[in-house]
Amino acid sequence: MTRGGAAKAKDGPERRCIVTGEVQPKAGLIRFVVAPDGQIVPDLLGKLPGRGIWVSADRDALQTAMKKRLFARAARQQVAVAEDLLQVLEAGLLRRVTEGLALARKAGQAVAGYEKVKAWLDTGQAAVLIQAHDGSARGKSKLKPPRRNDGYIGCLSSSELGLAFGRESVIHGALATGGLTERVVEDAAKLSGVRKKIGEDVPGKG
């Protein structure tokens, strides 16, 4: 990503990560707030009241923030950080991704199944290729993602994808261009960071 005013305007508002100190677009960060009871809670919708505390959507950064009491330093007060904060965050992001995919499917902006996905890729209708991380590597390699930096999602299991598409399990899925797609891509990128991108090698890339 290039530096400069033009890039910043394109990427939207920026915030500083309390762990790395880097300023970056909000899309790559997770907002936390201090609840009335002093508990640190993730604000995935970005609507909770209070001063935002921003951490990169990266498992290592989040663990560092917890271990080194950086939330308290950023809040300038004593706070409580639940031991299962990462699990709560992961569950919340997973719910947003699967709900977003379900909405896209109902709106005709998402399909599942090898043949349907291949047809969308062949005709250029697919903006994003989605594949279960526990699917067959050989089978997944037969489909190539669209040529865009965020054209591949691989952080979900086959059962999680199945939940989004109303099936028992799904290996291949695709998203068309649209507002719902941008939401799913952003949430999936955060989930990927929290999960450390387990099993997410992009087909056709080293």
> How many residues are listed for the chain in this entry?
206
What is the helix, strand, coil percentage profile of the chain, to 5? 40, 15, 40
Residues 61, 131, single domain; the answer is no
Q: How far apart are CA 148 and CA 166, in angstroms?
A: 28
Q: How far apart are CA 112 and CA 115, in angstroms?
A: 8
Residues 179, 157, single domain; the answer is yes
In total, how many domains does the chain have?
2
Residues 99, 181, single domain; the answer is yes
Does any domain span residue 204? no
Does any domain span residue 75? yes
Q: How far apart are CA 144 and CA 129, in angstroms?
A: 8
Question: What residues pair up with 172 in beta bridges, in sequence order?
Answer: 131
What is the pLDDT at residue 206? 42
Q: Specify the long-range contacts of residues 61-70, CB closer than 8 Å, at least 24 apart.
A: 61/17, 61/19, 61/20, 62/19, 62/30, 62/86, 62/89, 62/194, 64/19, 65/18, 65/19, 70/18, 70/19
Residues 104, 174, single domain; the answer is yes
**What are the C-alpha distances in Å from 15 to residues 20, 24, 102, 175?**
12, 6, 30, 29
What is the pLDDT at residue 84? 96
What is the pLDDT at residue 199? 53
Residues 11, 24, single domain; the answer is yes
* pLDDT per 10-residue tile (average), the chain, 206 residues: 35 88 94 97 95 97 97 96 96 97 96 98 97 96 92 97 96 95 96 79 55
User: 51: domain range?
Assistant: 5-83
Helix ranges (H only) for the chain are 5-11, 59-67, 70-75, 85-106, 114-123, 137-140, 158-165, 179-195
- Does the model's pTM come out above 0.75? yes
Residues 51, 129, single domain; the answer is no
Residues 77, 91, single domain; the answer is no
